[in-house]
Chain A
Amino acid sequence: QKEVEQNSGPLSVPEGAIASLNCTYSDRGSQSFFWYRQYSGKSPELIMFIYSNGDKEDGRFTAQLNKASQYVSLLIRDSQPSDSATYLCAGEGAQKLVFGQGTRLTINP
């Protein structure tokens, strides 16, 4: 069974610090990986996606992919209270997304 694993948290980070979110996946056939942010009661919104080994940066966000270790991470620099949400990691294979259970992140002012 294809699985994506995340630590459900909660993860508490002080404002201005770096938040590090991690994800592992079991399906070596997965090509692309996605990070979505979901506020309570809302649908997920795309933060970043990555499909090549290494780092990908977009503003305060950096996604990291290590296919050999089957590991994906998301770093949020200069964390803001508005970053408080559940972060969902998803792997894609054959156009289907498999989601992790999500990590609840709280940024403390």
Chain B
Amino acid sequence: GAVVSQHPSWVICKSGTSVKIECRSLDFQATTMFWYRQFPKQSLMLMATSNEGSKATYEQGVEKDKFLINHASLTLSTLTVTSAHPEDSSFYICSASPGVGNDQPQHFGDGTRLSIL
């Protein structure tokens, strides 16, 4: 149980392109999902908290107009990197939890490796 699916797994595109990444909870509903970014040899950094039916909450330093988040249903959140540039190249990973509480860990999707040429 608690499977999180992420698509696509790999994107290579030209500078200036907008890229959409999908995160789905396959066997549970998630009112909250999380988007992380990981640069090589670094740890995961939380970018934003995606809230179903309301605006996402962005961490300090993350541009909300650059990284658009939509959480239209209880099983789907999307992250759109708008007008991507080489410095946006990174490993983007989403996570979700089946519930709230100390015994409800977050489960991660397989990640999306984004390369901007």
Contact = CB atoms under 8 A, between A and B. Distances in A.
B49 A43 contact: no
A99 B44 contact: yes
Contact of B44 (A45, A46, A88, A95): A88
Interface residues of A, number: 21
Contacts, number: 51
Interface residues of B, number: 24
A22 interface: no
Given A31-B102, A44-B44, A95-B32, 20 more contacts: A32-B103, A34-B105, A36-B108, A41-B113, A42-B110, A42-B111, A43-B108, A43-B109, A43-B111, A44-B93, A46-B105, A46-B108, A51-B102, A51-B103, A88-B43, A95-B100, A96-B46, A97-B106, A99-B43, A99-B44
